[in-house]
Amino acid sequence: MKKSLIVLMLALLFYSCSKEKTDTKENEIKNNLNYGISELTITEPWVRVAAEGMNTAFFFKVTNPLEQNDTLISAESDIAEIIEIHETFVDENGLMGMRKIPFAVIPSNSTVEFKPRDLHVMAIRLKQDVKTGDTTLLKLTFNNAGEKKIFSAARDFVRPK
Ligand SMILES: [Cu+2]
């Protein structure tokens, strides 16, 4: 019973997200601009709007232009009681779930997207409301690149068209 409720909530969460406008062209341009940068960079960070006490997630892109793999080993933010690196999976019944992972590898010469229905940084039990336009600090620590501070603007579930 509890499990099915969680699955339903996840489904709603992801449904909302799939309605987000995706600026593919803009992303392509940004990716091209990243080409030639000689350090690990994080672009397009955002956090989903949610109320105090609820859960939310951070999303962003990590570009590793180097010849060596890097690894995201921790994430920290003051906005929630617990911050975890999560992945999404589909179980043997075809149901989608998510779970904590100890790290996320960012392969050399590639961009890894933390996005809805995929990798994300989970914020569990928010200490405060996260409202549209709020800017939230997220600290990511990578094995090689070290600490990266990113400011994630909050976006609503559904944007008017
Ligand atoms: Cu999660």
- Is residue 139 situated within a structural domain? yes
Ligand 1 center to residue 15 CA distance, Å? Answer: 15
Q: How far is the CA of 57 from the centre of ligand 1 (A)?
A: 7
Residue 17 has pLDDT above 50, yes or no: no
CATH of residue 64: 2.60.40.1890
Q: Which one has a higher pLDDT value, 61 or 13?
A: 61
Q: Specify the number of domains making up the chain.
A: 1
Residue 131 lies in a domain: yes
Instruction: Give the distance between the most distant pair of CA atoms in the chain.
Output: 51
Domain assignment present for 19: yes
- Residue 31 phi, psi dihedral angles, 5° rounding: -65, -40
- In sequence order, what are the residues at sequence separation of 6 or more whose Cβ sits closer than 8 angstroms to the Cβ of residue 35? 65
Q: What is the pLDDT of residue 22?
A: 47
Reported as a pLDDT band with limits 50, 70 and 90, residue 16 is very low
- The predicted model scores a pTM of 0.74
CA of 131 to the centre of ligand 1 (A): 19
Number of H helices, E strands in the chain: 2, 10
* Domain membership flag for residue 160: no
Would the pLDDT of 160 be above 90?
no
Ligand 1 midpoint to CA 44 (Å): 19
Joined tokens for residue 125: 């039990």
Is 70 exceeded by the pLDDT of residue 151? yes
- pLDDT at position 11 over 60: no
In a domain, 55, yes or no: yes
Cα–ligand 1 centroid distance for 69 (angstroms)? 24
What is the CA(99)–ligand 1 centre distance, in A?
6
Does 15 reside within a domain?
Answer: yes
Q: Is the residue at 20 inside a domain?
A: yes
> Who's near 14: CB < 8 A, 6+ residues apart?
96, 116, 117
CA atoms within 13 A on the CB side of 78: 5
Cα distances (angstroms) measured from residue 6 to each of 25, 88, 96, 122: 34, 13, 10, 15
Distance CA 150, CA 131 (A): 17
3/127: higher pLDDT = 127
59 domain residue, yes or no? yes
**Can you give the residue range of the structural domain that contains 41?**
2-155
